[in-house]
Each structure stands twice: as structure tokens, then as C-alpha cells.
């Protein structure tokens, strides 16, 4: 079993400077990047952060791995707290460039171009928190995620559900890879009692609540979506913003 290593041993150069933020600051200053890094009060050798001039972005979190010399980032949108960018690298200079671009409000694609290790989650920024746009953003995330996993049945399910206008109009979310729907966005979901599951080399299943009894099975994703439409409650209105 892999265990954590002493951060002083794993990151001796950072220990010498006193914090990950200090080393990142030096890397940014070397390239003439106008960005300031904040050190973690509780774990300065392993954590740092960068604020953004864009109000709908959270602070970019920068973390050092505990078992190997590697750093990861995560940048979220502020309303739902969902990741817009993430990624890991062994190159601190790339981390500094990504942080600078995040801080300055660069487009998400520009951040990736500045630092290719940055992974775009598929979500896009919705500064006004419009629920219809947030819904589409989350669908784009699920489509991106489904295209990256080695699970054709799951990918087919997400694509089939997105192709159906009625389901596409609902806010999608997953729990343990179970596709579910809501009539409100995060941070407070209003779940519709409808769940779709995909299995490897097995039928798709439909249940009326999470971990509930299976009410129908289908051999294809398209059939599963058709079954879901028949069990969909009536009178569902447009998606509303999730209350904090």
C-alpha cells in the first residue's frame, strides 16, 4: 500500500523556502507574471492558492501530492462550486502560468493553451447564474466526462439522454455513475425521482429513486431513455436556481 511521505523529504526545496506559495511566487516572478500566491496556514509546504479578478470564479486551489513529487490544481465557478479546470503536473512553471491566467480572467481555453496540463471539465462559465445556461454547462460536463472514460454503455446513455429535449431541459447530475435529474441547479438540487443506470455488457435499468427497486430494463440506451420519458412526472417546469 502506498503511504504518504514526509513533505520535507519529498519537497526539500520548498521546505527551504518555507512554503509552496513562495516557490510558486519565485517561478512566476522569473517569467514576469503579475500574480500573487497565498500560502496555506495549516499546510504551507503542500497547499497554496490564487484569487481571481473574475468574481464568478473561486480561489484556485494548488495542492502537492503526498506520495510523489507532483502538483495539482482545481478552479471552480463560485455559484455551484463545480470545477471548471483541474489537472496535475510535475512542472511548477506550468502551475504558475495556469495560476496567472486564472487570476487574470483568461478564457478557459486560453488557460489550457498557456499550460497544457490543465484539463477542461466541459463546464463553461455562467456569470449571471442563469439556470438554463447552468443546465447546459452541466450537460456539457457529463458529455465530456463520458467521452473520456472507457465505458461505451455509459457514454451511450449520456448521449441518448442529452438528445432527448425533455431530459435535456432538466439539470443532470450523477451519483455513483447513476444518471439523475433535477428541476433546480446546484447547490441545492430538487431531484426528480428517476434514475438511469448503465452496466457493462448488461441491460440498462430504470428505477424511480436512488438505490430503489428497478422498474424497467432496456437493452439499448435509446430504449432506456424512452422508458424514462414514460415514467417522468408531469408538470415539471423550467429549471430554477438552486438556493444557497
Q: What SS3 string covers 45-79?
A: CCEEEECCCCCCECCEEEEECCCCCCEEEEEEECC
Q: Is the pLDDT of residue 56 over 90?
A: yes
Portion of the chain with pLDDT greater than 90, in percent: 88
Interval 30-41 mean pLDDT = 97
User: Which ranges of 115-231 does DSSP label H, i.e. alpha helix?
Assistant: 131-148, 152-163, 165-168, 221-231
d(CA 205, CA 49): 43
Write down the pLDDT at residue 209. 79
Read off the pLDDT of residues 191-219 as tens digits, 9 standing for 90 and up.
898 999 999 888 999 998 777 789 999 99
| Average predicted confidence (pLDDT) for the chain | 95
Question: What residue segments make up the domains of the chain, in order of their start?
Answer: 7-120, 131-231
Read off the pLDDT of residues 100-153 as tens digits, 9 standing for 90 and up.
999 999 999 999 999 999 999 999 999 999 999 999 999 999 999 999 999 999
At residue 52's C-alpha, the angle toward residues 50 and 54, to 5°, is: 170
Q: Which residue matches cell numbers 429549471?
A: 239
φ, ψ for residue 218, nearest 5 deg:
-145, 150
Distances in whole angstroms, Cα of residue 14 to Cα of each of 9, 18, 38, 222: 10, 6, 14, 53
Cis peptide before 219 (omega within 30 of 0): no
Portion of the chain with pLDDT greater than 70, in percent: 98
Amino acid at each position: 500500500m502506498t503511504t504518504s511521505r514526509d513533505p520535507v523529504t519529498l519537497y526539500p526545496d520548498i521546505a527551504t523556502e518555507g512554503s509552496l506559495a513562495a516557490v510558486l511566487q519565485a517561478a512566476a516572478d522569473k517569467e514576469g507574471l503579475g500574480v500573487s500566491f497565498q500560502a496555506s496556514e495549516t499546510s504551507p509546504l503542500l497547499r497554496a492558492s490564487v484569487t481571481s479578478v473574475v468574481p464568478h470564479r473561486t480561489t484556485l486551489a494548488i495542492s502537492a501530492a503526498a506520495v510523489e513529487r507532483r502538483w495539482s490544481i482545481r478552479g471552480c465557478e463560485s455559484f455551484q462550486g463545480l470545477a471548471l479546470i483541474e489537472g496535475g503536473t510535475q512542472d511548477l512553471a506550468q502551475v504558475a502560468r495556469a495560476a496567472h491566467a486564472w487570476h487574470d480572467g483568461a478564457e478557459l481555453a486560453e488557460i489550457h493553451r498557456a499550460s497544457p496540463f490543465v484539463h477542461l471539465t466541459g463546464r463553461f462559465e455562467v456569470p449571471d447564474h442563469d439556470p438554463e445556461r447552468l443546465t447546459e454547462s452541466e450537460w456539457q460536463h457529463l458529455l465530456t466526462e463520458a467521452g473520456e472514460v472507457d465505458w461505451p454503455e455509459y457514454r451511450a446513455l449520456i448521449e441518448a439522454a442529452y438528445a432527448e429535449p425533455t431530459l435535456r431541459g432538466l439539470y443532470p447530475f450523477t451519483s455513483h455513475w447513476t444518471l439523475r435529474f433535477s428541476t433546480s441547479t446546484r447547490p441545492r438540487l430538487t431531484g426528480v425521482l428517476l434514475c438511469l443506470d448503465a452496466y457493462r455488457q448488461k441491460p440498462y435499468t430504470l428505477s424511480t429513486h436512488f438505490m430503489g427497486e428497478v422498474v424497467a430494463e432496456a437493452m439499448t440506451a435509446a430504449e432506456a431513455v424512452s422508458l424514462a420519458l414514460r415514467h417522468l412526472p408531469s408538470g415539471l417546469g423550467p429549471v430554477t436556481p438552486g438556493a444557497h
